[in-house]
Chains A and B, each alone.
Chain A
């Protein structure tokens, strides 16, 4: 389904379905094409709205405190823009294209993610 959605965006808009890139572009004054970005991000949010009504059990609750989520959000936002991609752009689309940059990025964020979870596990 994620693969189909990404293909659809490539077919219609010629874009890589990288969520951080699509969302980040919304914040840039220079992007002339904020309309489709907004539509795509709205679609994602609508999926959340529908899920909360149809299948509330499919949405897991938070595993960390609110303050930890603030830190997490800041790091995710900053890191994905600096590194030009996240799980979707590098992970799915980049690896599909066999892009060296993306493969390196995935290896790095899986590694630091795993280390973070290990450390968090020892702290709690």
Chain B
């Protein structure tokens, strides 16, 4: 076996495991009822017919993840397929965080779907799920655009080698 074989095999394994993580996550969302917009609305209907059962689901996920992730980050130098762990380190509370979360909450309250359940719902093939997912991707795209982050777009629109994706290139 050559080194090339080994790296190709590890790449396949890494993608399979990422897929399994996603599928497990999705299964968890389905089983716990988080993909049902009516249940989400119930969770958020604090001033009406409040249904706090989903709080227990979230708490259970945290009860598993909190000790497991802490142990993992303490014991291991690096993850299996990456050079290092990518864990957020920011601590500042800025306007973007608060405004972004506020906008997300409004959308969540309107549709009863957040990103994970939205993707699962689209996977079921329901029109509403697909509609929501497309709109969500458009919203993400719009935010990236406003923040002028380099976006994925058709190659011919992007000058090669331009670190900004060509957007901020001054006209000579």
The closest CB in chain A to the CB of B99 belongs to A82
Are A83 and B131 in contact, CB atoms less than 8 angstroms apart? no
The smallest beta-carbon distance between A94 and chain B, in angstroms, is 8
For A74, what are the chain B residues with a Cβ–Cβ distance below 8 Å? 107, 135-136, 138-139, 142
Interface string of B1-33 (1 = CB under 8 A from A): 000000000010011111111111111111111
Judged by a CB distance under 8 angstroms, whether B61 is at the interface is: yes
For A70, what are the chain B residues with a Cβ–Cβ distance below 8 Å? 131-132, 135
Pick from A44, A100, A110: contact of B120, CB under 8 Å: A44
Within 8 A of A (CB), among B24-77: 24-33, 35-39, 41, 44-48, 57-58, 60-66, 68-69, 72-73, 76
Are A2 and B29 in contact, CB atoms less than 8 angstroms apart? yes
For A115, what are the chain B residues with a Cβ–Cβ distance below 8 Å? 105, 109
Are B21 and A63 in contact, CB atoms less than 8 angstroms apart? no
The closest CB in chain A to the CB of B85 belongs to A14
Are B41 and A84 in contact, CB atoms less than 8 angstroms apart? no
Are A69 and B101 in contact, CB atoms less than 8 angstroms apart? no
Chain B's interface: helix, strand, loop or mixed, by majority? helix
The closest CB in chain B to the CB of A67 belongs to B131
Judged by a CB distance under 8 angstroms, whether B168 is at the interface is: no
Within 8 A of B (CB), among A97-122: 97, 99-101, 104-106, 108-118, 120-121
For A112, what are the chain B residues with a Cβ–Cβ distance below 8 Å? 101-106, 109
Are B104 and A109 in contact, CB atoms less than 8 angstroms apart? yes
Within 8 A of B (CB), among A74-98: 74-88, 90-97
Are A3 and B22 in contact, CB atoms less than 8 angstroms apart? no
Are B17 and A8 in contact, CB atoms less than 8 angstroms apart? yes
Are A47 and B27 in contact, CB atoms less than 8 angstroms apart? yes
The smallest beta-carbon distance between B93 and chain A, in angstroms, is 5
For A117, what are the chain B residues with a Cβ–Cβ distance below 8 Å? 41, 44-46, 48, 109
The smallest beta-carbon distance between A8 and chain B, in angstroms, is 5
Are A6 and B65 in contact, CB atoms less than 8 angstroms apart? yes
The smallest beta-carbon distance between B12 and chain A, in angstroms, is 10
Interface string of A1-19 (1 = CB under 8 A from B): 1111111111111111101
For A96, what are the chain B residues with a Cβ–Cβ distance below 8 Å? 62, 65-66, 69
Interface string of B116-160 (1 = CB under 8 A from A): 101111111111110111111111111110010111110000100
Are A78 and B140 in contact, CB atoms less than 8 angstroms apart? yes
Are A101 and B65 in contact, CB atoms less than 8 angstroms apart? no
The smallest beta-carbon distance between A118 and chain B, in angstroms, is 5
Would you give 7 A-B contacts (Cβ < 8 Å), ordered by A? Answer: A5-B25, A30-B165, A71-B111, A72-B135, A82-B143, A109-B108, A110-B44
Q: Which 9 A-B pairs have the closest CB atoms?
A: A48-B123, A43-B22, A83-B100, A77-B139, A47-B26, A73-B135, A3-B64, A116-B109, A72-B111
